[in-house]
Structure 1
Amino acid sequence: MVVLFLATSFFCVGQAAKDRFKDWAQTPPMGWNSWDCYGPTVQEHEVKANADYMASHLKDYGWDYVVVDIRWFVENTKRHGYNQIDPRYVLDAYGRYMPATNRFPSASDGSGFKALADYVHQKGLKFGIHIMRGIPTEAVKRKLPIKGTDGITADQVYTTENQCKWLKDNYTIVADKPGAQEYYDSIFELYAEWGVDFVKIDDLSAPIYHEDEINLIRKAIDKCGRPIVLSTSPGATPVTAGPHVSEHANMWRMVNDVWDHWRHLDHLIGVSQDWFSYIKPGTWPDCDMIPLGRLSIRGERGDDRMTSLTKDEQYTLMTFFTIFRSPLMFGGDLPSNDDFTLSLLTNKEVLKMHAESSQVRSLYYDEDKTAITSKNENEDWTYLALFNLSDSAPSDVWVNLSDMGMEGPVKISNMWTNEVLGTVKGKFTQNLAPHASGLYKIEKD
């Protein structure tokens, strides 16, 4: 009996340690990411301006991550794509990328993102960065040493196989080579020193799911001594990888980049049908960034604009992202928000659902209509989202309340307007315009 008890105790402790990272994102992370508005060109003053706005207008609603996206380590980046002709990389002596000081002046003297992270933290917010998987091609070319090893250099741990096809900054790391784990350990040691709270890592999930490198990354984060949320990107993450990614990452992309086009949102809603069972505290299927507000100031996709989604489509996007409990990473330039955009980000009832709901499930889905429901067990509320996905005409979208376990009369409220729609029994129907949606709170009458 004593042996059994000790074995069981050991297993419980081991499992708790293994799952510790899930404590870092018990609710879906919410914040701002620089990609949709600045592509690979964001500068320090722009990051600070968005942090200032978040602290003043959004922090009280749960928004708290400020994330610097791709290529912060390249001095001569450009809009509308990437400079892959003559990029000027900034690396330290151990082959680790450092912020380009012509874009991030506070990173001078090798201090990295420490000062910028401190600025964000002083506002009660959290700081994040984007990296590419693998080891820098420049580190390989210069045969730079890997910190924590006895003389192993970058050229001894790489392969050109499965190199990212759309950005050639890094090579693949050969996971079982001596020095591979140490390289990932060294970069996360650096990020912990800077005060990084969130890392989005690209080219991990598609077109190949890089399980070996995800394992290296998970171990490195667990060793670094700082809670760092791990976001894998881009999609589509294969559903067959669901059991693995949900045990190693806090969030993972279901599709490729979502921009301000209806077809992207329509596709996302369809793909999401395979991921409902993975919506759990600590690990979240990710809908991608929210392409609302002012986009592409110096972006990769298109020119400076306010989102091209209609108001109905913007409500549909936010309704889907919130009832699905996706992480919410706003992509537009926050200081450029108009009142309508801000209203989409500060609805207390909608954000309460996003933070507190459980049992998220699809009631039905077809090409033209879908219905999603969830529960708030603390309040004994049921949530319901109805969507008209058709392009052509208004349509009745309905549910049988019995499908949500409701047999008697219930009170239904519109969550975006706080309007009480009345008491309903049996069947609930709404006539919705093309691409429109409705979000409802249901209470026992």
Structure 2
Amino acid sequence: MIRIHFLPLLCAALLLARTDAFGGEMPSPYPAPESGIRLTPPESAAPFLNEPRLFGARPGSPIQFAICASGERPMKFAAANLPPGLKLDRETGVITGKISRPGAYTFSVQAANSHGKANGTVTLRIGQEICLTPPMGWSSWYSYSGGVSQENILKTARLLVSSGLAQYGYRYVNIDDCWQGARGGKYRAIQPNKRFPDMKAMCREIHTLGLKAGIYSTPWMGTYAGYIGSSSPNPQGDYSSLALPENKRPQPDQLFGNCPGSQRLGAAKVGPVWMVTQDARQWAEWGFDYIKMDWYLIDVPNTERIAADLKKSGRDIVLSVSNSTPFEIAAPISRLTNVWRTTGDIEDHWGSLKKIASSQEKWQPYTRPGHWNDPDMLQIGRLGQVGKANTTFKPTRLTPDEQYFQMSFWAMVSAPLIISCDLEHLDDFTRGILCNREVIAVNQTFYGPSEKVLSQNGCEVWLKPLGKNRTAVGFFNTGNDRQTINVPLSGLRLKSPQNVRDLWKQEDAGTVSREMNVQVNPHGAALFLLEGKNK
């Protein structure tokens, strides 16, 4: 089994070094919290090193890795025994450079401000695997959507930093559909429409902020939103034989009209001329770090071609494929890609969330460092209408308990944590959901896949091994009434006693000798870390 060494953050973050810190027995039943309140404690002004602290790159590829440290700014960063070929920006904590020799490089880092210092380690693994932890970041699809532009992408990038979300690991700024113009340039690649006047400058600014840039395409001739894709009817990249007349296009470059325009006009298929090769070179030259390739049905031959083109591009680019990967090809797809969608598009209501969560168990054996199941984006915060050029946003239709359910479940199954909300008006509750370092640490730590160990009366219990006698345990209630979920330690394959920590409250909950009895709100979740001996 592939294992990532359990990062030192969790030892500090979860405060589990001493048994006597836990006091008496965990209350039975452990009470459910009041609905609608922020459970995550206020953020500290003192520096704290957060996840991720593991990064993968191929030999000789450009490296950019930001030390994730929360706390009051200004902050100074330091590193001891930094590998040759790398340098650290002491003001931002961004590490850049190249390493040609394969291997694992672990070195000490420090973050300091007027309130104190935080020390820890960072590990860089140089080899053929990248994306060693589930990606965290933001996507434009459920926010700016059809109106995505260079201006609002850069605005979001700056907000990720100024809001502090980047300090908790949210690093990717991903453009979804609707950026495309016509083909051109030295590669005859897809060029951006007029809303993106300078892709290279945009990526450069995103990188200067210590973030990473993502983009979107499809191996089809036309995308779901009706823009051109990465194959073509002819070598010239001329799509006019399939396109709508100019006066019938919702936007000038939306050649095939609104969804399902590409399907109606015959563009929703791989065309005679494959153009991913030149598009990948263009994305690499612009400086993109992540690509979402979106088509249906996802298949192995096209995925193999896409993966090969990205590797030949000269840049490490994370490959995410969407949507609805057929389970029958899970094994080869999980080898070829870094991220693969296990579902159709998520929506911000309980029916969608419940359906997706109920389908994830069979996928767990395929997830591992560098390769992650993707049950789609977090429906948390203020969202826009998909496909619209949104300028205003509405709160998610998920209830507070349902938001705790989604974030807890995504953490347990090692899913990418990609948000798509308005960051300009981030409320305190949403921030508490997104910026709980102990919940994020569960998501970012991998010692093996998650497993459902109980399913009864609409309730489930999942466990995730975290190494060093630590186990994350998630309690989930899909029913409409508050329920008490009972599970013996033997059902968790754990020995008595176990020290228990409530991860959302970031506080010790006591010890458990025989069984856990946990009250869970309807459509809600509870998330714990247990430390003791495994059977």
- Give 1:61's aligned residue: 168
The match for 1:173 is 270
Alignment of 1:390 with 2:479, yes or no, is yes
**Local SS of the residue matching 1:382:** strand
- Shift, 1:382, TM fit: 0.9
Corresponding residue to 2:155 among 26, 35, 49: 49
Q: State the partner residue of 1:404.
A: 492
Identity rate of aligned residues, in percent? Answer: 28
Match of 2:38 in 1: none
Question: Does the CA-based 8 Å contact 2:393-2:422 persist in structure 1?
Answer: no
Inter-CA distance 421–225: structure 2 relative to 1 (3 Å threshold): same
TM-score normalised by length of structure 2: 0.66
Which SS does the other structure have where 1:275 is aligned? helix
1:369-388 mapped onto 2 (5 Å cutoff): 369-377=459-467, 379-388=468-477
Write the deviation string for residues 379-433 of structure 1: whole angstroms up to 9, x where unpaired.
4311100001012x11111222112222211111110002322111121111212
Contact residue 26 and residue 282 of structure 1 kept, 8 A: yes
- Number of matched pairs: 381
Output aligned runs, 1:8-27, within 5 Å: 23-27=129-133
C-alpha separation in 1, matches of 2:233 and 2:298: 29
**Correspondence for 2:432:** 343
Q: 1:362 maps to which residue?
A: 452
Amino acid aligned to 2:526 = G
CA contact (8 A) 1:398 1:428 kept: yes
Alpha-carbon distance in structure 2 between the residues aligned to 1:132 and 1:403: 44
Structure 1 runs not aligned, ≥5 long: 1-15, 74-88, 108-112, 147-152, 156-163
CA distance in 2 between partners of 1:356 and 1:362 (Å)? 18
One-letter identity of the residue aligned with 1:334: L
The amino acid of 1:145's aligned partner reads Q
Contact in 1 for aligned 2:144/2:389 (Cα 8 Å):
no
RMSD: 2.8
> Residues 218 and 40 (structure 1 numbering): CA distance in 2 closer, same or farther, change over 3 Å?
same
SS of residue matched to 1:336: coil
Structure 1 position 225, deviation (Å): 1.3
Q: Is the 8 A contact 1:144 1:154 kept in 2?
A: no
Cα deviation 1:267-305 (Å, max 9, x = unaligned) = 011110111111210100101111111100675599831
Q: 1:367 to 1:240 in 2, by over 3 A?
A: farther
Distance in 2, matches of 1:367 and 1:118, equals: 52
Which of 360, 374, 380 aligns to 1:272? It is: 360
Q: Which residue of 2 aligns with 1:316?
A: 405
Given that 2:298 and 2:323 are in contact with CA atoms closer than 8 Å, whether structure 1 keeps it comes out as no
**Aligned-pair CA distance for 1:135:** 3.5
CA contact (8 A) 1:245 1:252 kept: yes
User: Counterparts of 1:173-192 in structure 2 under 5 Å?
Assistant: 173=270, 180=274, 183-192=275-284
User: Is 1:100–2:193 an aligned residue pair?
Assistant: yes
Q: Which string of whole-angstrom CA distances, capped at 9 and with x for unpartnered residues, describes residues 109-159 of structure 1?
A: xxxx1111111000010000111223459798884437xxxxxx999xxxx
Indicate whether 1:249 and 2:337 are aligned.
yes
| Distance across 2 between alignment mates of 1:122 and 1:54 | 13
Between Structure 1 and Structure 2, the one with more strand by share is 2
Separation in 2 of the partners of 1:41 and 1:154? Answer: 22
**CA spacing shift, 1:268–1:142, aligned 2, 3 Å:** closer
Change (3 A) 1:104 1:285: same
- Distance (whole Å) between structure 1 residues aligned to residue 444 and residue 452 of structure 2: 18
Shift of 1:441: 0.8
Give me the whole-angstrom Cα distance separating, in 2, the residues matched to 1:243 and 1:165.
Answer: 31
Which amino acid is the alignment partner of residue 200 of structure 2?
K
Cα gap change, 1:92/1:34 in structure 2, threshold over 3 Å: closer, same or farther?
same
- 1:36 is aligned to 142
Q: Letter of the 2:269 partner, please give it.
A: T
What letter is aligned with 1:292? I
Amino acid at match of 1:173: V
Call closer, same or farther: CA 1:44–1:298 in 2, change over 3 Å.
Answer: farther
Residue in 1 aligned with 2:85? Answer: none
The match for 1:79 is: none
| Counterpart residue identity of residue 179, structure 2 | W
1:375 Cα shift?
A: 1.7
1:365/1:254 Cα in 2 relative to 1: closer, same or farther (>3 Å)?
farther
Match of 2:421 among 332, 335, 360: 332
CA distance in 1, matches of 2:376, 2:149: 22
CA contact (8 A) 1:276 1:362 kept: no
Deviates more, 1:281-290 or 1:412-421: 412-421
Determine helix, strand or coil for the equivalent of 2:145: helix
Contact 1:22/1:283 (CA < 8 Å) preserved in 2? no
> Could you say what secondary structure the match of 1:364 adopts?
strand
Q: What's the CA shift for 1:210?
A: 2.6
Contact 2:488 2:516 survives alignment (8 Å): yes
Normalised TM-score (structure 1): 0.79
Give the aligned residue type for 2:384: S
| Bigger Cα displacement from structure 2, 23-32 vs 398-407 | 398-407
Kindly provide the amino acid, as one letter, of the partner of residue 44 in structure 1: Q
**AA of the residue aligned to 1:293:** G
User: SS of 2:203's equivalent?
Assistant: helix
Instruction: Check whether the contact 1:96–1:187 (CA below 8 A) recurs between aligned residues.
Output: yes
Alignment of 1:125-164 (within 5 A): 125-135=211-221, 143-145=234-236
Q: Distance in 2 between matches of 1:198 and 1:444?
A: 39
Bigger relative contact order (CA 8 A; separation at least 6): 2
Q: Does 2:204 correspond to 1:122?
A: no
Structure that is richer in helix per residue = 1
Instruction: Specify the alignment match of 2:43 in structure 1.
Output: none
Q: Distance in 2 between matches of 1:202 and 1:189?
A: 18
| More deviation, 130-139/240-249 | 130-139
User: Structure 1 residues 124 and 428, CA, compared in 2 at 3 Å: closer, same or farther?
Assistant: same
Residues 1:219 and 1:29: Cα distance change in structure 2 (over 3 Å): same
Give the AA of the match of 1:371.
V
Asked if structure 2 preserves the Cα contact closer than 8 Å seen for 1:197 and 1:228, the reply is yes
State the partner residue of 1:222.
Answer: 311
Paired residues of 1:383 and 1:442 also in contact (CA < 8 A): yes
Residue 367 (structure 1) shift? 6.6
